[in-house]
Amino acid sequence: MTTDVAVIAGVGPGLGMALARRFRRGGARVALLARRTDRLTGFAAGDPDGLRPYPCDATDPVQVAETFAQVEADLGPPDCVIFNAGTFVRGQVADLDPAEFERCWRVGCFGGFLVGQAAARSMLPRGRGSILFTGATASLRGGAGFANLASPKFALRALAQSMARELQPQGIHIAHVIVDGGIEPPDSDGPSPDRPPDSRLNPDDMAETYWMLHQQPRSAWTLELDLRPWVERF
């Protein structure tokens, strides 16, 4: 058990909530950051001292700074910050809306920078902490029709690498998790008859890896790892 404070930016009904459950089960007090917190209120209602929703647009520098200040006032300085936000709209390059392309970059990369910067500013004086980023298959290769996703994911991976080389010697663990496969939706009724069992990533199983990364001793830190179902081709 731990008394750590965890901040999860980009909490939705899938992986984000699974991360919140795992870190809370480990004893952490968890701040849930999302642009829309109406879907989180019921999730946190049973444990208001341990799970707290905060409205925050991760692409807004003022909101990010103010939210981190409020989290510190309410729960204490963060020991682990997870950036899990992202969005994209699939489409052919010739048809992509430039404004939509920019929005996807702002959510997927600029938001990661703002959240990572706020986390680093809080952790540096203490010389410890974990900052974890959620990546994707598109972090490594851009697929046809996925320019809106690959561009911010490539950039987020580069950000994580730069932060690791700068901050790890100062005691802050940076890790980038490549999610290589589809995630089981939260409203799933179980395995589909046309798919093998466990052919999608289970969010709770994924959350175990994030917890492990936060718990790693600094003599053996991981910068990057990938998660995929056993049947996924790669």
- The distance in angstroms from the start CA to the end CA of the chain is 36
Q: With CA atoms as reference, report the closest residue to 78 among 29, 35, 18.
A: 29
pLDDT reported for residue 192: 65
Distance separating alpha carbons of residues 183 and 194, to the nearest angstrom = 16
Separation between Cα atoms, residue 23 and residue 234, nearest integer Å: 30
Kindly report the pTM of this predicted structure. 0.94
Architecture field, domain 5-227 = 3-Layer(aba) Sandwich (3.40)
Per-residue pLDDT of the chain (234 residues; tens, 9 = 90+): 778 999 999 998 899 999 999 999 999 999 999 998 887 878 888 788 899 999 999 999 999 999 999 999 999 999 999 999 988 888 899 999 999 999 999 999 999 999 999 999 999 999 999 999 999 999 999 999 999 999 999 999 999 999 999 999 999 999 999 999 999 988 766 656 678 889 999 999 999 999 999 999 999 999 999 999 999 998
pLDDT at 42: 80
Domain boundaries, the chain: 5-227
Q: Is 123 helix (H, G, I), strand (E, B) or coil?
A: helix
Contact 215, 221 (CB under 8 A): no
Sheet harboring 80-83: ordered strands across? 51-55, 29-34, 5-9, 80-83, 129-136, 172-179, 224-227
